[in-house]
Structure 1
């Protein structure tokens, strides 16, 4: 089994990238490929840009990467209650190739933030949208207070309720 995982943010030191990597690597025997959406940076989407550029190769490459996995794990950073601009732009370009950009893949969606909200607003938005874009949503989880619940030295969620919930969640990908 191959899992494609990424943090839906352009932050190079993202806590959401760390959470996505942790969760994806919990699936026993799975090969995990971590994507960095910075590798797919394309101009801001508009119909004018689309007419000018056509379909950017990087959007095609991202779509192909999503298709190369058996399952997908995404952890969403929240900017002002919504998607990050970097993720939304990549999503917009890629959805022009195929509205079903997640290609029927089973997915687990996560979100976290330093505060007690755990980026739950963006997670709710993403979870409600995924079925409309070819995502087979197997579960979602918002991890609040990241630095209280994640051990930075071992890159793991601290043992207890949250770790048990994440383990249970990713078990749904098999």
Structure 2
């Protein structure tokens, strides 16, 4: 099973990328490929830009990665209660290639933030709209107060209850 994992953020030290990587690697025997959104350069989406430039290489490369996967672990960063501009823009371009971009493959949606909210608003948006993009949501987990519960140096969860939730979510990808 090949899992594509990424944090829906352009931060170079993304806590969401760390969370997605950690969770995807809990799937025993899986091949995990971790994406960095910074590797997929695209202009700001608009229909006018699309008419002018066609399909940007970054959007096609991102879409090709999605097609290559058997499953996904996506951890969503939250900016002002919604998707980050970087992720939403790339997502919009990819949806123009094929709105059914997740092709009925299993997805685990995660979210985290440094604060107690755990980016729950954006997580709810992603789960709520998943069917439009043919994502088969197997689990969703919000992780509050990331720096209190995760050891960035060791790349491991310190909070046992959250670790169990993430392990359960990861196992749902194989079910």
TM-score range, shorter chain: over 0.9
CA distance in 2, matches of 1:135, 1:117: 24
Asked whether the equivalents of residues 42 and 57 of structure 2 are also in contact (C-alpha less than 8 Å), the reply is no
The Cα of 1:153 is off from its aligned counterpart by 2.2
Instruction: Verify: 1:167 aligned to 2:167, yes or no.
Output: yes
Aligned to 2:124: 124
Aligned to 1:6: 6
Q: How many residues align?
A: 174
Q: Could you list the per-position Cα deviations for residues 26-82 of structure 1 after superposition, in whole angstroms to 9, with x for gaps in the alignment? A: 000111000011111210000100000111121111111011011000000000000
TM-score (ref. length: structure 2):
0.98
SS at match of 2:44: coil
Asked whether the equivalents of residues 102 and 134 of structure 2 are also in contact (C-alpha less than 8 Å), the reply is yes
Aligned to 1:22: 22
SS at match of 2:73: strand
CA distance in 2, matches of 1:148, 1:57: 39
Asked whether the equivalents of residues 150 and 159 of structure 2 are also in contact (C-alpha less than 8 Å), the reply is no
Distance 1:159 1:145, change over 3 A: closer
TM-score (ref. length: structure 1):
0.98
Gaps of 5+ in 2: none
Gaps of 5+ in 1: none
